[in-house]
Amino acid sequence: MIKAHTVPLSAAIAALTLMLSPVSAGETHQHTGAHGGKVVESGHHHLEIVAKDGVVEVYVNGDDMKPEDITSAKGTAAVLSGGKKVDITLAPGPASALTGTGTFKADTGSIIVVTVTMPGHKPEQARIKID
């Protein structure tokens, strides 16, 4: 009886570990983008995430690295900084970026998890850690 529960539990733990890993959240293969942020693959798009104290900007590019039309896009950002979590709503703003503001410091070690929904696509997620 114990074995019957051990296998599904270990499979669930393995699946949860993979879901929480940096690879699943798009943290691998980062490079610096045109706006000074980190570029992360998020599924169908490349997201350049720029974080400054109180401001998050997300530039959405296609696989060809050309800017996408974001006029109907929406998104959120969860900023983990200084032991606090700040949730930010992202909306189309100037310079073809989804932008949002909140009360946070973009300090070294801060983590930003972005979810972007483009028209005709499922939500995509990416995560960066500020160096």
pTM, to two decimals = 0.77
Amino acid identity, position 103: T
Q: Three-state DSSP class for 105?
A: coil
Q: What is the pLDDT of residues 106-115, one digit of tens each?
A: 999 999 999 9
67: which DSSP letter? B
Spans in the chain with pLDDT lower than 50: 1-7, 9-28
In sequence order, the 6+-apart residues with CB closer than 8 A to the CB of 32 are: 38, 39
Could you give the domains of the chain? 2-129 (2.60.40)
pLDDT of residue 29: 56
- The rounded percent of the chain whose pLDDT value lies above 70 is 77
Q: Considering just the CA atoms, what is the radius of gyration of the chain in Å?
A: 17
